[in-house]
Amino acid sequence: MNEAKQTLKILDQRYKLLKQQQVTLITALDRTRENAHDQIKPVKTLAQVRNYLDNYCNNTTDKRILSMFLDICTDLNDYCVKLDGLQTDMRTAGGTLDESTYLLSPNNDLSGLRAKYPHDVVNHLSCDEAKNFYGGVVSLIPIVLDIIREAVYKMEKPQPHIQQLTDRAGQKNQSGAKAGENVSLTTGTQTRVSQLDSSHQQHIRKSKNKGSLESLKPAWRPTGRLYTS
């Protein structure tokens, strides 16, 4: 997890460098859109930006800044995939990471995205027309970074249901151990009681048997005489 946090820190620093060059990014998009005769509609997708870079970019500075933007988006997407694999509980932050992966997909429509406070990237665009054309593009990375930070926070924070399961398991083990002790003690006591009961019952049976044998003996008669009743 520490390595993941360090990677996020590096990505955040790279974005800050890109943010400082936002005017250069917008200028590059303006020029490539003009070369592509595509100035009517806003920049909607990352695939569109890639098309401008590959086919309509003739300026070294434009190539550098557009490549920088697309590389950060690609690395953020890869980071989300790796971060999802680090989750101990598969759905701890999965919904959040799925959202960021969706936003970074090549054909996702970015035109409706607007980064809000404390982000000020949209406000730094020159006019309403520029906001309509590029508001989604400049909002994408800060929004995704916010989502990723939330996911990392959820992964680091102990989950209540996991803690409850751990506590219950510990209580169950303790209860099992105590139950085992009680069973052992009870079994031993029952064994001794059973042995005493058995000895007592045998003694009673012997006494009864002896009494029965004595009762079967004929009454004593003087020898030599015959008595009739």
CB atoms within 10 A of CB 104: 21
Q: Which range of residues forms the domain containing residue 123?
A: 2-159
> Which is more confidently placed, 87 or 13?
13
Whose CA is closest to 84, among 155, 11, 5, 9? 155
Q: How many domains does the chain have?
A: 1
Establish if 55 belongs to a structural domain. yes
Q: Look at residue 26 and tell me if it is in a domain.
A: yes
Highest mean pLDDT among 91-100, 148-157, 187-196: 148-157
220 is a domain residue = no
Q: Contact 140/110 with Cβ under 8 angstroms?
A: yes
pLDDT tens-place string over residues 33-58 = 999 999 899 999 999 999 999 999 99
- Cα distance between residue 80 and residue 152, in whole Å: 10
> Residue 72 has which token pair?
């950060």
Distance set, CA 159 to CA 53, 64, 81, 149, 208 (Å): 44, 43, 21, 17, 72
Report yes or no on 16 lying in a domain. yes
Q: Which two tokens stand for residue 162?
A: 């996991």
Whole-model pTM over 0.75: no
In this structure, is residue 164 part of a structural domain?
no
Measured distance between the N- and C-terminal CA atoms of the chain, rounded to whole angstroms: 111
- Give 3-state DSSP helix, strand, coil % of the chain, rounded to 5: 70, 0, 30
pLDDT at 213: 45
Whether residue 143 lies inside any domain: the answer is yes
What does the DSSP assignment read for 172-191?
A: HHHHHHHHHHHHHHHHHHHH
Q: Is 212 inside any structural domain?
A: no
Residues whose CB falls within 8 Å of the CB of residue 220, separated by 6 or more in sequence, listed in order: none
| Total residue length of the chain | 229
pLDDT at 133 over 90: yes
